[in-house]
Every structure is written in structure tokens, then in C-alpha cells.
């Protein structure tokens, strides 16, 4: 599922957010994610991670509204 999602994301414009990887445990993100995508780290500080995740989603929703893109498919 992750490979399919990453392949789909590779076909979209770079500024379009469709995947937000989240680190929930003390682990190293897979190389492909670490190399190609930013991720939200919730392991160290849950509240800060949630705030970052919420900001990212809010910013993407606002960007899609401005460009009149669908919010979900």
C-alpha cells in the first residue's frame, strides 16, 4: 500500500500533498520516505506533532480551496 501511494504521489505536482508520513515509534523512517518526503515526528512530542500535522492539513486545504481543487477523492 505504501509503495502504491508513493508511486501515485510521484505522478502529481511537487507542491500537492497527498501523503503525510507520521513517525509514531522510535524507529528510522524507510529510506524512500526519508529521501523523498518530509514526515511528522510524533514520537518525541505528541502535542507538537499533532500541531504540525494540523497546520499541514489546514495549509493544504486552504491551498486547494484557492486553486479550487478537490479536498478529497
Residue among 56, 52, 65, 55 nearest 17 (CA): 56
pLDDT above 90 as % of the chain: 21
Q: How much is the pLDDT for 71?
A: 67
Q: Give the residue with greater pLDDT, 72 vs 56.
A: 56
Residue 19 pLDDT exceeds 60: yes
Q: How much is the pLDDT for 25?
A: 92
Alpha-carbon torsion angle 16, 68, 63, 12, nearest 10: 0
Residue given cell 477523492 in the structure block: 73
Amino acid at each position: 500500500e505504501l509503495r502504491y501511494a508513493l508511486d501515485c504521489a510521484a505522478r502529481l505536482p511537487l507542491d500537492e500533498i497527498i501523503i503525510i508520513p507520521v513517525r509514531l515509534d522510535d524507529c528510522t523512517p524507510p529510506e524512500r520516505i526519508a529521501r523523498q518526503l518530509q514526515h511528522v515526528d510524533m514520537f518525541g512530542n505528541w502535542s507538537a506533532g499533532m500541531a504540525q500535522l494540523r497546520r499541514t492539513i489546514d495549509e493544504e486545504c486552504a491551498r486547494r480551496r484557492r486553486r479550487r481543487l478537490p479536498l478529497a477523492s
